[in-house]
Amino acid sequence: MKPVIGIAANEQTMIDTDSHWISYTPKNFVTGVQNAGGLPLLLPIGTIYDAKSYIQKIDKLLLAGGQDVSPESYGALPHQKLGATNHRRDLFEMALVKEAVKAGKPVIGVCRGMQLLNVAFGGTLLQDLSLAKEPLLKHVQVPTPFELPTHPVEINMNSRLAEFLPQNYQVNSFHHQVIDELAAEFVVTATAPDGVIEGIESVKSPVMGVQWHPELAYFTIEKERAFFEYFVNKFA
């Protein structure tokens, strides 16, 4: 029986009007899960009261990228550099995470998904890279194509990431927010040369996240395909 991978969906308008909305996730998340032998199931943004029912129908949960996590979710006020947010999505995904952890089901977060995990467990975010105390690397790699790696990370060799990635690894990068205060339940599993946290995992539950985008490099970097293989078949 194929493992059912719930992918928390995003939403946006199809055209320049508020009357045509779509629920979606990047296609390579679907392709990656399918090719690894999983059955992807999109979970559209809903109420927090539906989260338990959704989690009962899946084996593992994947949180994708997208908007900035609302500072309201971690008790902060919005900074000028804050991008678009969707607090309904924040609340729904945090409810999904809560129910998944309660049920002992693995959770993985990508980019915003990793940041959301940190917030869900009590951590905070830096709302923009420009607010860091020290100059940082370029973490929004435009105009470099998203599927190409642009900076190195160092993987903690005692981590889950080290089960399929080498200690020194190159990643793509498309984020302007970063983890500020790490939630107490997490340890850092990958770090950029400037100190930015690029990977985390829980010390209590099967929960982990990466800051880069394996789905965007799925067809160009073999190790990013290993990300999906690990999550679908080994992560527990």
Q: How far is the CA of 184 from the CAs of 85, 114, 124, 146, in angstroms? A: 25, 15, 11, 32
Structure tokens at 84: 């678009």
In what helix (H) or strand (E) does residue 97 lie, and over which residues does it extend? helix 87-102
Residues facing 154 on adjacent strands = 168, 191
Active site residue 215: yes
Neighbour-count burial for 171-182, b at 16+ CB within 10 Å, e otherwise = bbbbbebbbbeb
Q: Per the residue annotation, which of 111, 175, 198, 201 is the catalytic one?
A: 111
DSSP 3-state of 60: strand
Structure tokens at 122: 């009590």
Neighbour-count burial for 86-120, b at 16+ CB within 10 Å, e otherwise = beebbbbbbbbbbbbbeeebbbbbbbbbbbbbbbb
Active site residue 87: no
Active site residue 213: yes
Structure tokens at 185: 């339940």
* Cβ–Cβ < 8 Å for 80, 23: no
Q: Per the residue annotation, which of 139, 151, 175, 213 is the catalytic one?
A: 213
Catalytic residues: 111, 213, 215
